[in-house]
Chain A
Amino acid sequence: MIRKKLTTLLALLALATAAQAQTADELFATVRTKVLQVKDYVADVNMKIDVAFMQVPMLKGKLYYKAPDKMKLERNGGISILPRKNINMTLSNLIPTGKVTVIDMGNTTLKDKKLRLLKVVPDEDNNGIVLTKMWLDEKELLVTHTETTTFNDGTVIMDLDYKNYNKYGLPDKVKIFMDLKEYKLPKGVTMDYNDVLEKTDKDKTAKKQKGTIEIKYLNYTINKGIPDAIFAAAKKGSE
């Protein structure tokens, strides 16, 4: 009798697990579809780069994005700085495409919000992504936090805040936490001035290898089509 009950219980547990795994797969697929529906956008942005070895003021400009991986920040003739391709600032580049294995990690609370945590492992090489952890708002189908481990660029963590463009899964504010390599030039070449006299706070922490980039999206123009020539100009400018 006890054995029969135990067998039934185990069978139910297995069924429940299978059902939840399917739900996780479906949830991921739905969110991915929502994120990937944005083929291109132009957005007015304010970008703040906080990296120990960089002193960069708030950059205001127009951010152009075209799926799958084209991005350009235009600053009315000024110099623009964006993370390299692999550490892309767009969520669609941090969500693996193609065949993936989705592991449901259950519900969790992050910043007082109840979220569903999924681990996504690409089955094949996917833009250098090894593993993506996604914290999902199931109700709104929005990704509010991601941790993506890449082959070459360490771990990229993203915090996403939404307000006006939930429908497209586009955030109003993104904060990216990146692993960075050390930056150093020979002192004999640079002939720094205040080296022996006074160091700024940033100089003192120059060896820390973490950085954050915060982008505020002021408005979006979505899926209106962007010619490739715009991105070609960016590539030419960087050569």
Chain B
Amino acid sequence: MIKLLSLELYKIFKRPRTFISFGLVTAIALVIQLAMTAGGKDFLSFGMQGITEQFDVNGNILNGYLVAYLILQSLLIHIPLLIALVAGDTLAGEANMGTLRLVLTRPVSRSELVLVKFMASIIYSLLLIIWLAAVALLLSIVLFGTGDMINMKSETFILLLKNDIPWRYFAAFGFASLAMSSIVSLAMFLSAFAENAIGPIVATMGIVVVLTILSNLELPLFNLIKPYLFTTHMIGWKGFFDDPVPYAAITRSAGVLLSYTAGLLLATILYFNKKDIQS
């Protein structure tokens, strides 16, 4: 199993396109950091207008913690798309290259193969999130320093004390990893149906984009389905920046995401076991 896993990881990381994701994350983070260096104070004064009309807020507001939060918020949609690039390719890519049948001639069950490919994709997404943490958080701290962090919600202004922030980022990245596992299982599920990687990658991106829009639209009709959409729960990492932290909501979101992950993975295994593999 470990040998098979290392083989799958080798397949993922030997492809140059795998590293496009790391490059894109770096580029987006750097662009936002550059923009914040140039016009961050104007951006903040616009966002904080409702507060500064009534209160004087002083200190290093534009610090690394806030910039990292803004980067993470901007990458809400992008990271799932980058993960779909790899996870959507796992089964369909092999089918397209005609190597799937060859792989299955070895003494490994179809279920094991799906599980190993799932684990390899999870490792890839974890590495991407660790990289994101490095460029978004650590680099922002180097560039902007640390300090208390403000979090502006639509109806609430939150101030978090400097010493109370690092654990929140740790938990937020952990939750983001969980959210990405649901993307991995969705992309793999769609990949099992296809003979070409482009289809599942584009379909995953499309589903994420459409459901994200539905999750953010303020219409009564969509409010009914929002709690059941995984995209609603993918932003659960933001809950760690509330005060008090809404643990019940975060636990519920984690449950929904785990259910999606497990359900889609199981569906992939069931379908793949019955699939007539011709290439």
Contact = CB atoms under 8 A, between A and B. Distances in A.
Chain A binding surface, main DSSP class: loop
A87 B56 CA distance: 11
A184 interface: yes
Main secondary structure of the interface of B (DSSP, over half): mixed
Contacts of B249: 193-194, 197-198
**What's the interface size class on A, roughly?**
35 or more
Nearest to A239: B41
B55 A84 contact: yes
B157 A183 contact: yes
A98 interface: no
A238 B56 contact: yes
B205 to A, nearest CB: 19
B227 interface: yes
A185 interface: yes
Interface in B46-74: 47, 50-61, 73
Contacts of B60: 77, 79, 237
A182 B54 CA distance: 10
Nearest to A193: B238
B102 interface: no
Interface of B: 41, 47, 50-61, 73, 76, 147-148, 150, 152-162, 164, 216, 218, 223, 226-227, 232, 235-239, 242-244, 246, 248-249, 252-253
13 contacts: A54-B157, A56-B157, A79-B61, A79-B148, A81-B55, A84-B56, A85-B56, A185-B50, A190-B153, A191-B73, A200-B242, A234-B58, A238-B57
Shortest 9 CB-CB distances between A and B: which pairs?
A79-B59, A193-B238, A183-B50, A79-B148, A198-B249, A206-B155, A237-B58, A56-B159, A55-B158
